[in-house]
């Protein structure tokens, strides 16, 4: 009976997100070789029986799974140790290598950082890759998204508390007309790029209010559904805590793909040192009826879980 319990504990320790290192040490580390043989024979998902040669070999998918799950804690620690500017620079570089499916990373860095931190990320990009972030984006991104992405990463926004209401109303009207007439091409409109890449975030909050009045609809509720990248830029600029809450919830879904699950590390590590982490946690609780810490406690394992929870506790 003890052997069965050990096998169940090992299976549980290596299933899901993260690895329960302590369980592996106490069960697998102290196991007899006959116990490990029983584990291999019983774990058809992890091992394949080679009947001709009479041994159980690791399934390739199992090896890839273990490599990924053991690396989560390591990647989180390495990212946390980096200078924040370097983290953001490397995220943008990664997005460019991955292609259009990851352009939201460029939007995220560009639209949720302060002017000084975005400038710092561009400086780090110079140091790491011997070229400017703007130059790299312009040479790698093709099609309708190029102009918007270059504009966003080039921004150095005013961060004061003054807003010219007439200008906000004018920008809202321009944005409403562009959305109504341009479809997917809205992200190529010079005036749209100008508004989103030069205006302060406080100014854009006023633009948001006036747009909703003009269109009698919510700008963030499908008003620009023709362009998902523009939707993400608007969400990051206007309601970043909502954006990150949705990202976190998607990453904690047990059915999420491996790329989506990696978002958890990125968001917690890159936001833990900022007051916005508290706002994200509050928004998450409001949206999903449970705390982010509770969800991580229930769904993540081992040192990876403990490290994430430690970072989250910094915002309390």
pLDDT tens, 202-221? 999 999 999 999 988 888 87
Rounded Cα distance, 232 and 56, in Å: 47
Q: In the prediction, which pLDDT does 227 show? A: 66
Of 108, 95, 109, nearest to 231 by C-alpha is 108
Q: In the prediction, which pLDDT does 1 show? A: 41
The domain 84-236 is placed in CATH, from the list 3.40.50.720, 1.10.220.10, 3.40.50.1000, 1.10.1660.10, at 1.10.220.10
Is 101 buried (19+), middle (13-18) or exposed (0-12) by CB count in 10 A? exposed
CA angle at 283 for the pair 279 and 77, rounded to the nearest 5°? 60
Of 16, 301, 31, 182, nearest to 7 by C-alpha is 31
Of 247, 289, 264, nearest to 16 by C-alpha is 264
The reported pTM is 0.91
Q: What are the tokens at 78? A: 């390495």
Q: How far is CA 136 from CA 67, 122, 245, in A?
A: 31, 11, 29
CATH assignment, 242-313? 1.10.220.10
**CATH 1.10.220.10 domain residues, the chain:** 84-236, 242-313
Of 27, 10, 78, 14, nearest to 307 by C-alpha is 78
The residues, any chain, with a CB within 8 Å of residue 184's CB and separated by 6 or more, are 144, 226, 227
Rounded Cα distance, 108 and 4, in Å: 47
Q: Where are the alpha helices (DSSP H) in the chain?
A: 2-13, 21-23, 33-42, 60-81, 84-98, 103-112, 115-129, 133-140, 146-153, 165-182, 190-198, 201-215, 228-238, 240-251, 258-261, 263-271, 276-288, 292-299, 302-313
Q: In the prediction, which pLDDT does 184 show? A: 65
pLDDT in tens, the chain (316 residues): 444 546 778 888 888 899 999 988 888 888 888 888 888 888 888 898 888 898 888 888 889 999 999 999 999 999 999 999 999 999 999 999 999 889 999 999 999 999 999 999 999 999 999 999 999 999 999 888 999 999 999 999 999 999 999 999 999 999 999 888 766 678 889 999 999 999 999 999 999 999 999 988 888 876 555 568 889 999 999 999 999 999 999 999 989 999 999 999 999 999 998 888 999 999 999 999 999 999 999 999 999 999 999 999 987 7
Find the helix or strand (DSSP H, E) in which 47 lies. Answer: strand 47-50
Of 253, 271, 268, nearest to 76 by C-alpha is 268
Is 132 buried (19+), middle (13-18) or exposed (0-12) by CB count in 10 A? middle
* pLDDT tens-digit map of 96-142: 999 988 999 999 999 999 999 999 999 999 999 999 999 999 999 98
């Amino acid at each position: 009976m003890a052997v069965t319990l050990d096998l169940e504990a090992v299976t549980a320790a290596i299933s899901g997100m993260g690895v329960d290192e302590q369980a592996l040490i106490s069960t697998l580390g102290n196991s007899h070789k006959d116990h490990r043989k029983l584990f291999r024979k019983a774990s058809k998902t992890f091992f394949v029986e080679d009947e001709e040669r009479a041994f159980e070999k690791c399934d390739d998918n199992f090896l890839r799974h273990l490599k990924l799950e053991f690396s989560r804690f390591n990647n989180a620690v390495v990212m946390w140790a980096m200078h924040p500017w370097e983290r953001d620079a490397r995220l943008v570089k990664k997005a460019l290598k991955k292609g259009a499916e990851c352009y939201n990373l460029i939007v995220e860095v560009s639209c949720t950082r302060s002017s000084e931190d975005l400038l710092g990320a561009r400086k780090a990009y110079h140091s790491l890759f011997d070229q400017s972030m703007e130059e790299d984006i312009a040479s790698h991104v093709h099609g309708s998204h190029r102009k918007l992405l270059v504009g966003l990463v080039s921004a150095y926004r005013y961060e004061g508390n003054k807003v010219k209401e007439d200008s906000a109303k004018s920008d809202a009207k321009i944005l409403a007309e562009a959305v109504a007439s341009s479809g997917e091409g809205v992200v190529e409109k010079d005036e749209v790029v100008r508004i989103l890449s030069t205006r302060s975030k406080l100014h854009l909050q006023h633009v948001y209010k006036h747009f909703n009045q003009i269109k009698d609809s919510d700008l963030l509720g499908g008003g620009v559904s023709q362009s998902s990248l523009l939707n993400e830029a608007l969400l990051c600029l206007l309601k970043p805590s909502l954006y990150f809450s949705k990202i976190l919830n998607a990453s904690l879904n047990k059915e999420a793909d491996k790329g989506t699950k990696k978002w958890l590390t990125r968001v917690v590590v890159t936001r833990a040192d900022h007051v916005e982490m508290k706002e994200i946690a509050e928004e998450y609780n409001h949206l999903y009826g449970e705390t982010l810490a509770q969800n991580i406690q229930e769904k993540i394992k081992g040192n990876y879980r403990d490290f994430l929870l430690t970072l989250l506790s910094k915002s309390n």
